[in-house]
């Protein structure tokens, strides 16, 4: 049986294309003016100036819009039931945020049907895709029993390849008087049930959740089962999370709000990405992470939404870019890179986060002449067209 090759498509007259490949264009973003991209199947086949684009089966005229790689959102919590509107309203009226609200979502998630959770994940992934997110990590962590954590990961894996086991989100209310017993569960029967459905293992290493020794035991057990570590680190205060992430070669240390000079130095001299989540600080009125210190030290920085019903209920990477530029010391170029190539590095991916031959054909056009407008025009829905795995969506 013969197969018909997929038609090729050229997107031409892109005013300014961010490739994230310095060998293709100007500066760290590899900028190309009046650019074209050729898509063949689900891959990028060619990138260059519009005047030099090869012949293709189909053509799309970008009409002077800017082009960027699809966003890579490397930290979210999409498998949940209910919401926490009341908590948000109270917090905005003066109550400070703590991790205790997670228990509210745990109860609602346990009560939700499989169909309801599938629909929820699909809804938020579609919402993110419309805003240019073409790669999405998501976690468990709102079940906290063997059955419910495994269910959450099966549901997540039906929608995305980047799935993280977060049985160690908080100590389950069922084990409130026996945190050591809960760690044994997370590193034993729960891990056994969850590992087949996940790529990553994560832990909330924070006062009120898991201390450094507990977190090390959980991450080490996950590694032994073939899961690679990620760490919720140094969000609510100074702690051991960042140092532990570097020690265990975690792909990312996420939040990184409260860092010592030693933490920054450790990140700068490691392969662990500092993933910053400005939506959480925005939604909790907390201290902003200092991206400038990390970048100037040479650390690799990613931006992500932390989309979850409690502390950061946004799926918008453009919004997080605007916050990072306005309040975290990043330039528009740095923020865009961190939301694309930075996120890819936080997932240890080389096929996404860039527009270069051989990469997956994930890209977006903006109703603007430059990617700088993502920060320059905050809150405006600038993403006009999205291609995901070569398909215009």
Which pLDDT belongs to residue 374? 98
Strands 383-388 and 71-73: unpaired
Which residues 6+ apart lie within 8 Å of 222 measured at CB?
Answer: 165, 187, 191, 195, 201, 228, 229
For residues 138 and 374, what is the distance between their CA atoms, to the nearest angstrom? 24
How big is the chain, counted in residues? Answer: 393
Buried b (16+ CB within 10 A) or exposed e, 12-21: bbbbbbbbbb
pLDDT (mean) for 321-343: 98
Over residues 39-79, the pLDDT tens digits come to 999 999 999 999 999 999 999 999 999 999 999 999 999 99
Which pLDDT belongs to residue 102? 84
Q: How buried is residue 93: exposed, middle or buried, by Cβ count under 10 Å (0-12/13-18/19+)?
A: exposed
Which pLDDT belongs to residue 232? 98
Over residues 334-391, the pLDDT tens digits come to 999 999 999 999 999 999 999 999 999 999 999 999 999 999 999 999 999 999 999 9
Q: Name beta bridge partners: 16.
A: 33
Which residues 6+ apart lie within 8 Å of 158 measured at CB?
Answer: 118, 121
Mean pLDDT (the chain, rounded):
96
For residues 365 and 108, what is the distance between their CA atoms, to the nearest angstrom? 38
CB 29 within 8 A of CB 20: yes
CB 357 within 8 A of CB 374: no
List the structure tokens of 309: 């019903």
pLDDT (mean) for 119-135: 98
Buried b (16+ CB within 10 A) or exposed e, 309-330: bbbbbbbbbbbbbbbbbeebbb
CB 313 within 8 A of CB 89: no
For residues 229 and 198, what is the distance between their CA atoms, to the nearest angstrom? 11
Over residues 139-198, the pLDDT tens digits come to 999 999 999 999 999 999 999 999 999 999 999 999 999 999 999 999 999 999 999 999
The HSE-up count of residue 203 (CA atoms within 13 Å, CB side) is 35
Query: pLDDT category, 37, cuts 50, 70, 90?
Result: very high
The 3-state DSSP class for residue 169 equals coil
Q: How big is the CA angle at 350 (ends 346 and 47), to the nearest 5 degrees?
A: 130
Which residue from 254, 185, 171 is spatially nearest to 221, judged by alpha carbons? 185
* Single pTM value for the model: 0.96
- Which of left, alpha, beta for 241 (phi over 0: left; psi -120 to 50: alpha)? alpha
State the CB neighbour count (10 A cutoff) for residue 82: 17
Which pLDDT belongs to residue 88? 86
**Alpha-carbon distance values, 36 to 19, 32, 53, 222, 341 (Å):** 11, 9, 6, 43, 20
pLDDT (mean) for 124-137: 98
Q: Taking 70 as the threshold, does the pLDDT of residue 13 lie above it?
A: yes
The percentage of the chain sitting over the pLDDT mark of 70, rounded to a whole number, equals 98
For residues 348 and 201, what is the distance between their CA atoms, to the nearest angstrom? 14
Which pLDDT belongs to residue 100? 56
| For the chain, counts of helices (H) and of strands (E) | 15, 17
pLDDT (mean) for 247-252: 98
Query: pLDDT category, 323, cuts 50, 70, 90?
Result: very high
Q: Taking 70 as the threshold, does the pLDDT of residue 1 lie above it?
A: no
Cα-atom radius of gyration of the chain, to the nearest Å? 21
For residues 306 and 280, what is the distance between their CA atoms, to the nearest angstrom? 7
Over residues 195-235, the pLDDT tens digits come to 999 999 999 999 999 999 999 999 999 999 999 999 999 99
For residues 365 and 369, what is the distance between their CA atoms, to the nearest angstrom? 10
Which pLDDT belongs to residue 170? 94
């Amino acid at each position: 049986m013969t197969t018909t090759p997929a038609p090729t498509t050229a997107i031409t007259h892109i005013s300014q294309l961010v490739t994230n490949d310095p060998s293709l264009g100007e500066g760290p973003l590899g900028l190309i003016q009046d650019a074209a991209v050729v898509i063949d199947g689900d891959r990028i086949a060619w990138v260059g100036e519009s005047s030099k684009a090869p012949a293709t089966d189909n053509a799309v005229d970008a009409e002077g819009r800017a082009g960027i790689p699809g966003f890579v959102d490397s930290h979210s919590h999409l498998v949940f039931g209910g919401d926490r509107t009341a908590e948000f309203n109270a917090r905005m009226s003066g109550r400070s945020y703590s991790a205790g609200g997670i228990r509210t979502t745990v109860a609602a998630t346990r009560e939700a049907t499989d169909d309801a959770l599938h629909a929820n994940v699909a809804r938020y992934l579609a919402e993110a895709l419309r805003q240019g997110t073409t790669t999405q990590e998501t976690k468990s962590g709102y079940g906290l029993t063997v059955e419910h954590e495994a269910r959450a990961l099966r549901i997540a894996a039906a929608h995305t390849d980047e799935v993280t086991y977060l049985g160690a989100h908080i100590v389950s209310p069922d084990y409130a008087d026996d945190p050591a017993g809960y760690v044994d569960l997370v590193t034993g029967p729960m891990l056994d049930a969850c590992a087949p459905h996940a790529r990553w293992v994560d832990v909330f290493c924070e006062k009120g959740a898991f201390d450094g020794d507990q977190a090390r035991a959980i991450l080490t057990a996950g590694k032994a089962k073939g899961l690679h570590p990620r760490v919720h680190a140094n969000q609510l205060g100074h702690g051991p999370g960042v140092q532990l992430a570097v020690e265990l070669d975690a792909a990312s240390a996420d939040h990184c709000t409260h860092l010592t000079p030693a933490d920054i130095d450790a990140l700068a001299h490691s392969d662990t990405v500092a993933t910053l989540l400005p939506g959480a600080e925005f939604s909790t009125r907390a201290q902003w992470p200092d991206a400038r210190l990390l970048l100037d030290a040479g650390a690799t920085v990613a931006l992500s939404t932390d989309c979850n019903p409690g502390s950061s209920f946004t799926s918008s990477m453009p919004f997080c870019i605007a916050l990072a530029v306005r309040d975290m010391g990043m330039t528009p170029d740095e923020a865009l890179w961190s939301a694309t190539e930075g996120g890819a590095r936080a997932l240890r991916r080389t096929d996404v986060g860039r527009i270069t031959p051989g990469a997956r054909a994930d890209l977006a056009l903006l109703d603007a002449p430059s990617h700088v407008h993502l920060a320059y025009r905050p809150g405006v829905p600038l993403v006009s067209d999205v291609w995901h795995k070569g398909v215009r969506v």
